[in-house]
Amino acid sequence: MQKVKLRGYEKSIIKFWSQYMESKIGLFGLALLIFFVFVSAFANILAPYPVGPKDGDSKAILKPPTSKYVLGTDELGRDMLSLILYGGRVSLMIGMLSTLMTALIGTIVGVSAGYFGGNTEELLMRFTDIFLVIPGLPLMIVLASILGATFWNMIFVIGVLGWTGTARVLRAQVLSLKEKPFIESARAIGASDARIIGRHILPNVLPLIVAQMVLNIGSSILSASSLSFLGLGDPTHLSWGMTLHYAFGVGALFSNFYWYLIPPGFCITLVVLAFTFIGYSLDQIVNPRIRRR
């Protein structure tokens, strides 16, 4: 029988996966995420009714759950289940796109601060401190209301303000990596900074970046839902947060329209929980500070 030879990275993926399999929380989160991604991707097939502004059933306005509309209807007579299915797309998209931006800024700031040290580090960390100390949501509110409530503005606002955590974690990690012998020997044989960062530093901090990204998607979805709830969401993109905004707007609280209020918030919680569970489990494996304990 031929022996299969494994390359280095394949071995580490297998090792990683076997560690991850041990975490029940992580596996549950992954299952939950796969479910929501699947449901959102096939929303147009799964949704029983269309959800355009004119697609409502004028004879079923704000109706509690019935056999025809299993989760009830909104103030335009649209099916709540269909709204929820389509809403997942928007919420997940906002979370992932703003996290791409967050990861990019956080990596650039964190890695350069940690690697170059000195004045660069001082300047970048001071800059990070400003963003750390300013309360996040109020700053997002101000930016979003100045720029205007559109889908892309929301992604920009969340992405441009959410990178401080990533930057700090990466800086700490790069600081300790920099002292490792393999980096010193690379420098001794005359490798350039770009080569050391690209070939040695980045591959080593990649797992940490991924763990941060997963956690960030969750918190971005939460921020987006808060902004939408406050009326800073794009009215043409019906995210779960936007649906909640309309629920509060039509007085769902005082009129006891529980079917309008419960599903969107429940879905936000579950999706954020999925990312939090996965991120928490990843962090347990890849974050050296936690692993040591």
Partner 1 sequence: MGIGRVAIKRGINAIVLIGMVTVINFFLFRIMPGDPTTMMISPRMTHETRRIILHKFGLDQPLYVQFVRYIQQLLSGNLGISFIYQRPVLDLIVERIPNTVLLLLSSFIITVILSIITGLVAAWKRGSKLDISLIVFGLTMHALPIFWLGGLLLLYFSVQLDLFPVIGVSTPWLKHESVFSYVADVLHHLFLPMMTLGIGNIGGLFLITRNSLLDVFAEDYVTTARAVGVPSRTILFRNVLRNAMLPLVTIIMLRLGFIIGGAVTTETVFTWPGVGLLIYRSVMQEDYPVLQGAFLIITISAVLANFMAEIIYGYLDPRVRYE
Residues that bind partner 1 (CB under 8 A): 24-25, 129-130, 133-139, 141-143, 145-146, 218, 222, 225-226, 229-232, 241, 244, 248, 253-254, 256, 258, 261-262, 264-265, 268-270, 272-273, 276-277, 280, 290, 292-293
Give the separation between CA 22 and CA 18, rounded to whole angstroms. 7
Instruction: Give Cα 44 to chain centroid, integer Å.
Output: 23
* 3-class secondary structure, 72: coil
* Of 87, 103, 133, 135, nearest in space to 220 by CA: 103
Which of 135/190 has CB closer to partner 1?
135
- Report how far apart, in Å, the C-alpha atoms of 151 and of each of 93, 148, 237, 269 are: 10, 10, 7, 21
In the complex, least distance from residue 146 CB atom to partner 1, rounded to whole angstroms:
6
In the complex, least distance from residue 94 CB atom to partner 1, rounded to whole angstroms:
14
Give the separation between CA 233 and CA 154, rounded to whole angstroms. 7
* Of 214, 242, 222, nearest in space to 137 by CA: 222
In the complex, least distance from residue 273 CB atom to partner 1, rounded to whole angstroms:
4
Which of 186/270 has CB closer to partner 1?
270
Which of 170/232 has CB closer to partner 1?
232
In the complex, least distance from residue 82 CB atom to partner 1, rounded to whole angstroms:
20
In the complex, least distance from residue 59 CB atom to partner 1, rounded to whole angstroms:
26
Which of 40/284 has CB closer to partner 1?
284
* 3-class secondary structure, 18: helix
